[in-house]
Amino acid sequence: MSTAPLAFLKGHGTENDFVILPDPGNALELSPSAVARLCDRRAGIGGDGLLHVVRSAAHPEAAAMAGEAEWFMDYRNGDGSVAEMCGNGVRVFARYLQRAGLAAEGDLAVATRAGVRRVHIAKAGPDGTPGEITVGMGRALLPGGEVTVSVGDGTRPARNVNMGNPHAVVFVSDLAEAGDLHTAPEVRPASAYPDGTNVEFVADRGRRHVAMRVHERGSGETRSCGTGACAVMVAAARRDGADPAVSGRPETYAVDLPGGRLTVTERPDGEIEMTGPAEIVAEGTLDPDWLAIAFA
């Protein structure tokens, strides 16, 4: 690891926050322990995860996507583990590219471990407020099978939804029923999620309007989860008897999270679009002496 200062930024999407490390040439060796130290809220910068910004052509996991997407979002959870996708992270990633002059308002493609994601950066408002960002999240997979999640002293049925990463969606009458989500709820059978899963607890707020809390695999309870909001929208729509592939009409739900609101639409072709804000809140450099310890 070089002893030179390392540039970083900090951003969030509906308060799901991320450390951002620009590294176009993929020169950084990010061990799980280094990522966890950077995301530590007391001993590091602090974040639910880390966005490693790399040119697709420079990363072995993304090189095959370089023809479609110039930039690869090498996403890591707050504990340092690698993740396939992060919906809020993609919006913040796109906002960083816009801020750095590497992308403009309009359409953008971003490579992720779950494939290429199509992004649209809306125009800024008359007052200069940054426009919201829409991400094409791909199609939901519904593996089926019986899944349950421990809630208090009992268990509840859950819907298995895969958005490029796994989710178990549980409907409750009150979000407080979820209890403490810093520890991962028990999900059965374990074979349904061999690599662990995100768990969403969902309560109704009105027609096509739900609220949720989430335990994110590798991060604990977070203020927001973009792929989770999409999984919740699909689970709620199917519960409500709505399937755009059957009706030929798109379905849109408002999904309220502790950190804000996301709008999620499922189109008749199965594509899911998520729209919400993204902000960059700080930038700076990491101290070389601290880096030498963190990356040791």
Catalogue the active-site residues: 86, 225
The SS3 of residue 35 is: helix
The residue type found at 58 is A
| 87 is annotated as contributing to ligand binding | yes
The answer to whether 96 and 130 have CB atoms below 8 angstroms apart is no
| 16 is annotated as contributing to ligand binding | yes
Nearest alpha carbon to residue 230 among 137, 149, 159, 118: 137
| 226 is annotated as contributing to ligand binding | yes
Q: How far apart are CA 288 and CA 203, in angstroms?
A: 46
The answer to whether 277 and 260 have CB atoms below 8 angstroms apart is yes
| 105 is annotated as contributing to ligand binding | no
Hey, what are 80's tokens? 């340092």
| 218 is annotated as contributing to ligand binding | no
The SS3 of residue 248 is: coil
| 88 is annotated as contributing to ligand binding | yes
The SS3 of residue 254 is: strand
* Ramachandran bin of 115, using left for φ above 0, alpha for ψ from -120 to 50, beta for the remaining angles: left
The answer to whether 281 and 261 have CB atoms below 8 angstroms apart is no
CA–centroid distance for 196 within its chain: 16
Nearest alpha carbon to residue 82 among 49, 60, 53, 42: 49
DSSP category for residue 82? B
The answer to whether 244 and 251 have CB atoms below 8 angstroms apart is yes
The SS3 of residue 276 is: strand
Q: How far apart are CA 144 and CA 177, in angstroms?
A: 24
Hey, what are 292's tokens? 């030498």
Residue list, annotated binding site: 16, 77, 87-88, 165, 198, 216-217, 226-227
**Residues within the annotated binding site for substrate?**
16, 77, 87-88, 165, 198, 216-217, 226-227
